[in-house]
Amino acid sequence: MNTLELLRNRRTIRRYSDAPVSDELLNELLEVAFRAPTTGGMQLYSVVVTRSDEMKSRLAPTHFNQPTVKAAPVVLTFCADFNRFVKWCEASHAQPGYDNYASFTTAMIDTLLVAQQFNTAAEARGLGCCYLGTTTYNAPQIAEILHLPRLVVPVTTLTVGFPDGMPEQVERLPIEACIHREQYQDYSSERIQSLYAAKEALPVNRRFVEENGKETLAQVFTDVRYTRKDNEHFSRIWADFIASQGFK
């Protein structure tokens, strides 16, 4: 399978076989991931590798006890990390000025680029991965469990292993929904309805609407899955934690 076909056919994998992921393979994939683009060559990221059942059990509640955390052979927590670079600056008689929000954003972008490059490399070697968006929701607890120091913030988590079966591929909007030529072209109500029509018509999504007692798929998102109350709650936690880790 060539690279484009690999990417076109990718799936999120939450169930894993008993096949082990060796340290040699994991290190090879991480080395490839660390070739991802990075701001100024600074490499503002670290990856915490979790293999033990004890540590996975401690991390599981921070990810709302999603079964994939305990089931996966490997759990990787990708962290925005200015701690290492700042200590290098200080040891080299340079005065760092990276305890600010712009620097955190830079490190976060570096980290996400590495995480996605790892994901792609892992899938090329037959592994499956699942991103856990819960990392930012419960970042303070994750940082405590993993002993993350000042200027280190967990950004995303991947569970990794060899797939136990292949799930159906999740739908995507047509590409014209996300492409703007030369300038952003805002969406009319009619165009929005056209772009989302196929997504709303899928049996699985129609079932979500019915099971949640809603009138539309959009209401499942706004009223059940990602509510204003939850978004504002986790926004406060995230912003306060970033500041507490030294980025202000």
In the predicted structure, residue 189 carries a pLDDT above the cut 90 = yes
Average per-residue pLDDT for the chain: 97
Q: What is the pTM of this model?
A: 0.95
8 Å CB contact between 15 and 163: yes
Phi, psi of 81 (to 5 degrees): -135, 105
Spatial distance between the Cα atoms of 11 and 124, rounded to a whole number of angstroms: 12
Q: Can you tell me the mean pLDDT for 58-87?
A: 98
Residue-wise pLDDT for 107-135, tens only, equals: 999 999 999 999 999 999 999 999 999 99
Greatest alpha-carbon pair distance for the chain in Å reads 63
Q: Can you tell me the mean pLDDT for 52-68?
A: 98
**pLDDT attached to residue 43:** 98
**pLDDT attached to residue 157:** 98
Domains along the sequence of the chain with CATH: 3-168 (3.40.109.10)
Helix ranges, the chain (H): 3-8, 23-33, 53-59, 67-71, 83-91, 101-124, 134-137, 139-146, 189-201, 203-211, 217-220, 228-244
Phi, psi of 50 (to 5 degrees): -115, 120
Residue-wise pLDDT for 139-151, tens only, equals: 999 999 999 999 9
8 Å CB contact between 62 and 157: no
Give the bridge partners for 130, in sequence order.
159
Query: Looking at residue 159, what DSSP letter applies?
Result: E
Q: Which CA distances in Å does 170 have to 13, 14, 88, 138, 237?
A: 11, 13, 43, 26, 30
